[in-house]
């Protein structure tokens, strides 16, 4: 039976506590991986819908959400190893691995290396490049802005600046779950600042042909990060791959147009053998 709120749990992986949300549900296992600075709970509005038909898990990457902070251990390979460890520790099989942004890169890298527990892969708005002109300003802002905000509404406005077409309901929810309250009434990001300083973006074009499972690339039609020509090239290189674009959405299309994203996810999952 699906859990309409999701249950917060932890599992020990590679020596650290990894937080995750178990949404329950029956059928095929779905594992959701978030992007840089986000949390497992960023998937709540998607996970709640999917858990009506599948068993859904959303994972907090190390240094994010309810997972342990481990400064000095935020290298790209460690995040990929955590994906493998999560599937093994929970003994999950026949998994559809869905990753957004940085989580998408961890998802496709793991799947290229080891698809033994993965039956389908979804990459949401992430490229394989080492340098991306669309994300350069994003990282400058991440490094320069404070971790603390005067109040919850300030966080809402910050999130609105990155995803302007997201509804007020989702923005307010994201602002609450992505931050912790401070004694003075302010809020602070629910992640280790060190992850921004240590973040690695290795070139990964060479591994795309190694992906053996059915794959879906989802691109926000207005995304500056995953450019259309890059998405099309990925689609050509990855065997057994389809590409769809989400209307009225950018990099965070899963928030800006969740109904369309869920429709494509359902169609893709149902098409798998």
Q: What is the pLDDT of residue 72?
A: 97
**pLDDT, one tens digit for every residue, the chain (273 residues):** 566 789 999 999 999 999 999 999 889 999 999 999 999 999 999 999 999 999 999 999 999 999 999 999 999 999 999 999 999 999 999 999 999 999 999 999 999 999 999 999 999 999 999 988 776 667 677 777 889 999 999 999 999 999 999 999 999 999 999 999 999 999 999 999 999 889 999 999 999 999 999 999 999 999 999 999 999 999 999 999 999 999 999 999 999 999 999 999 999 999 997
Between CA 23 and CA 9 the distance in angstroms is 10
Phi, psi of 91 (to 5 degrees): 50, 50
Token pair for residue 240? 């057994």
Domain locations along the chain: 2-131+195-271
Which pTM value belongs to this model? 0.96
Q: Domain spanning 2-131+195-271: which superfamily? A: Alpha/Beta hydrolase fold, catalytic domain (3.40.50.1820)
Between CA 231 and CA 238 the distance in angstroms is 11
Q: What is the pLDDT of residue 143?
A: 72
What angle is formed at CA 13 by the lines to CA 99 and CA 112, rounded to 5 degrees?
A: 40
Q: Are 48 and 4 contacting, i.e. CB atoms less than 8 angstroms apart? A: yes
Q: What is the pLDDT of residue 144?
A: 78
Between CA 126 and CA 220 the distance in angstroms is 10
Q: What is the pLDDT of residue 139?
A: 63
Within 13 Å, how many C-alpha atoms sit on residue 93's CB side?
A: 2
Between CA 173 and CA 257 the distance in angstroms is 16
Three-state SS for 116?
A: coil
Q: What is the pLDDT of residue 273?
A: 79
Cα distance from N-terminal residue to C-terminal residue, the chain: 23
Between CA 38 and CA 36 the distance in angstroms is 6
């Amino acid at each position: 039976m699906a859990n309409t709120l999701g249950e917060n749990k932890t599992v020990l992986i590679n020596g650290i506590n990894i937080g995750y949300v178990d949404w329950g549900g029956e059928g095929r296992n779905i594992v959701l991986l978030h992007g840089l600075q986000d949390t497992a709970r960023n998937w709540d509005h998607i996970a709640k819908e999917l858990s009506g038909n599948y068993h859904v898990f959303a994972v907090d990457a190390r240094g994010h959400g309810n997972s342990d902070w481990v400064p000095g251990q935020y290298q790209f390979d460690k995040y990929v190893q955590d994906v493998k460890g999560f599937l093994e520790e929970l003994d999950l099989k026949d998994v559809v691995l869905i990753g957004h942004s940085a989580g998408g890169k961890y998802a496709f890298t793991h799947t290229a290396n080891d698809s033994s527990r993965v039956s389908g892969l979804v990459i949401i708005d992430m490229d394989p490049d080492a340098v991306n002109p669309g994300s350069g300003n994003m990282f400058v802002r991440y490094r320069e802005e404070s971790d603390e905000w005067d109040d919850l509404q300030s966080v809402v406005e910050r999130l609105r600046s990155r995803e302007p077409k997201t509804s007020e309901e989702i923005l307010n929810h994201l602002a609450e779950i992505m931050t912790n309250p401070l004694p003075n009434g302010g809020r602070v990001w629910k992640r280790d600042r060190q992850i921004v300083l240590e973040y690695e973006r290795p070139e990964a074009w060479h591994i795309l042909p190694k992906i053996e499972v059915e794959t879906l690339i989802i691109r926000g039609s207005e995304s500056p990060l995953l450019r259309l020509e890059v998405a099309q090239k990925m689609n050509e290189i990855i065997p057994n791959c389809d590409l769809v674009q989400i209307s009225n959405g950018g990099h965070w299309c899963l928030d800006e147009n969740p109904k369309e994203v869920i429709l494509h996810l359902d169609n893709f999952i149902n098409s798998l053998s």
